[in-house]
């Protein structure tokens, strides 16, 4: 994602930190149907910048009346048209979703100046990617809990014919209670809105399934639902190993290297010492033949996930 270096004051009156030490605010009306305590018009103050990218900025903000923290994603009006299309796609999907495993959208502001702001719930532990960098690796018990939550989210999306197409650690948000939620729907797709078989080359190539990289060799009928499962398998493997599983630690592969590893290499395997349940779970996700991959709903009944659910009870 490109870093935003524009230091102009945003039309939403949320200047970047270098421009002002004051904490600006703006009023964002929320949908009357929301169950949030911020259902009325809301005064927000900016606390910090959480990240930049794709022509926009993500802020941590706080509602002054209640003290509740939110994440505010602001996209500039002069952003690249592709970025604009992605943010509108994300807005459409967030309006449609209502699941404890999907990041919650509290409101959307599309100003006449062209800037767009999406107010979302704030996940105070960041992403699974940042958690991995802090902890190094995660235990099987933690991964079982994470897998169960992500699978619940994917089952919800897939049931509603929504394909995410970019499942990876940095798109999975987490809070201090280890609640995990799927986010970032910029390249996602609602399948019943079009006859397109969803074979476009979008997302993060490192987490793409073989049939997305090379449809001629791995079957031209790309199944986006199965593609999400491949990405989940790589994500779980990365969280366990502490690095991207298809490459040695610290190596940043180029497109050609990734394609060879994903399409022509053997599926990545777990090291010695892991449980048979976890090994089986990864194998069910990383089948090169997409028709042999388990679905999200099937994986929810896998022993690796069910064992954690029983221990939680």
- The active-site residue, picked from 78, 110, 124, 166, is 166
Q: Mapping DSSP to helix (H, G, I), strand (E, B) and coil, where does residue 73 land? A: strand
CB 77 within 8 A of CB 114: yes
Measured CA to CA, the distance from residue 239 to residue 217 in angstroms comes to: 29
> Beta-carbon neighbour count of residue 151 at 10 Å?
24
Give me the sign of the Cα torsion angle 6, 125, 227, 163. Answer: negative
Measured CA to CA, the distance from residue 229 to residue 4 in angstroms comes to: 32
Measured CA to CA, the distance from residue 20 to residue 9 in angstroms comes to: 9
Measured CA to CA, the distance from residue 291 to residue 105 in angstroms comes to: 34
Helix ranges (H only) for the chain are 81-96, 128-135, 140-159, 210-213, 215-218, 224-241, 255-259, 276-285, 296-299, 303-312
Q: Mapping DSSP to helix (H, G, I), strand (E, B) and coil, where does residue 64 land? A: coil
**Catalytic (active site) residue 80:** no
Measured CA to CA, the distance from residue 160 to residue 167 in angstroms comes to: 17
Is 73 annotated as contributing to ligand binding?
A: yes
The catalytic residue positions are 166
Residue list, annotated binding site for ATP: 73
């Amino acid at each position: 994602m490109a870093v935003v270096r524009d230091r102009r004051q945003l039309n939403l009156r949320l200047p970047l930190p270098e421009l002002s030490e004051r904490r600006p605010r703006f009023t964002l009306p929320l949908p009357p149907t929301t169950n949030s305590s911020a259902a009325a018009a809301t005064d927000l103050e900016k606390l910090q910048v959480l990240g930049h990218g794709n022509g926009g900025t993500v802020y941590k903000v706080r509602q002054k009346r209640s003290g509740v923290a939110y994440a505010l994603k602001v996209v500039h009006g002069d952003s690249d048209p592709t970025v604009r299309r992605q943010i509108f796609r994300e807005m459409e999907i967030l309006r449609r979703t209502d699941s404890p495993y999907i990041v919650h959208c509290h409101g959307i502001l599309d100003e006449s100046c062209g800037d767009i702001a999406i107010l979302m719930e704030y996940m105070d532990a960041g992403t699974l990617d940042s958690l991995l960098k802090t902890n190094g690796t995660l235990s099987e018990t933690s991964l079982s809990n994470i897998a169960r939550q992500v699978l619940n989210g994917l089952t919800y999306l897939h049931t509603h014919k929504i394909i995410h197409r970019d499942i990876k650690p940095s798109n999975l948000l987490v809070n201090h209670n280890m609640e995990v939620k799927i986010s970032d729907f910029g390249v996602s797709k609602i399948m019943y809105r079009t006859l397109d078989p969803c074979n476009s080359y979008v997302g993060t190539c490192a987490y793409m399934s073989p049939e997305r990289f090379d449809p001629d060799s791995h079957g031209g009928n790309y199944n986006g639902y199965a593609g999400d499962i491949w990405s989940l398998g790589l994500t779980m493997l990365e969280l366990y190993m502490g690095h991207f599983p298809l490459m040695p630690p610290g190596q940043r592969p180029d497109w050609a290297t990734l394609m060879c590893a994903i399409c022509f290499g053997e599926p990545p395997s777990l090291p010695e010492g892991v449980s048979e349940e976890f090994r089986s779970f990864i194998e069910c996700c990383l089948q090169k033949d997409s028709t042999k991959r388990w679905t999200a709903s099937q994986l929810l009944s896998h022993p690796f996930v069910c064992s954690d659910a029983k221990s939680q009870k």
